[in-house]
Structure 1
Amino acid sequence: MNNLKLLLFFLTALCLLGALAGCSENSKIPPKEDLPEQTITKSDLENEAWQMEELYWKYVQNIDTVAYKTLWHDDFIGYPSFGNGVSNKTKIASWIPDLQKDPDLKFSYILHKKAINAIADVVIVFYDADEIWTDKEEEIAKKETFKFTHTWKKIDGQWVILGGMAASKNQDVLED
């Protein structure tokens, strides 16, 4: 019985030593400032901003104006394709419900990336968007092409649009 007590004592002591060794100075997680910094490349930033443009259009397709407005900085000012002047965040989603107002037509879009440029932590995106309406036979009833530019910045981990512009694209004048 004494041998069993002695064996249990040694096993307990061994476990305690192992636990203490795990808490030694050498096994601590390094402080945040000692960890290597992740470098985000220009290409990474540009890809992230393009993904945000794709999300923008998914919100448009789904007429999700609440989620759509989360993409815009509170101090946004831009020149939209609708109206005759600049717009702020409060008016920026006003065009979306009109895209699907005709129940006989289905709205869709195709994006054409033209250029993306990351400068430090700001990304400027240029692209065309074909807005397409098809009838019940899936024939194109109407198609418009617009050119867009958005300036994106990641603030507190969230990409937001700081400024932008959209306009109808005249296919007869501009050819790529």
Structure 2
Amino acid sequence: MIPAPLSDDPNGRHRDPVTGAATEESLLRFLDAVLAMAEPNGPQVGMLCLEVDGLDRLAAAHGPALREAVLLGVADRMQERIRIQDLIGLVDGGLGICLAEIFPAQAHGAAQRLLRAVRLQPVPTPFGALPVTCSIGLALSRGHEEDGPALLARAQGLRRAARRAGGDTVVTTL
């Protein structure tokens, strides 16, 4: 069983107003709930963390409007490619997806498809269409092995490893 997605959020406490993605706090609550319901021998829970390569440098040169446009464009691509039971959220200057009830091969395939989707189509910005790439970290858990913050931290570490490897790649624990 998967927890219900966030409601419409009329007060704006659970979703980012620019991207529509869940806040990090809301994503962590969802991740903890999914981990608590995971069966020890069933599908796993995945946490995917994505960082747009060089976004800080681009934002420093062109301002926050560029950062927001790029994150919105990437979040839209993510939203188009996730299952209904998954949740996209803001994570540490980038984006993350809680992949509920997923097998390792499915999670890895989803990460690779997302990597290609970001790479293949420029993101519209106030400064014109901008080609971008991303670094993705993917961590999986069987549920009761760890809590949401621990799984998120592992995915963030893997994302940093992807960035150190030159970006435009997925690093996973598979």
TM score, norm. by length of structure 1: 0.30
- Kindly indicate which of the two structures has a greater share of residues assigned to strand: 1
- Kindly indicate which of the two structures has a greater share of residues assigned to helix: 2
Rg: which structure is higher?
A: 1
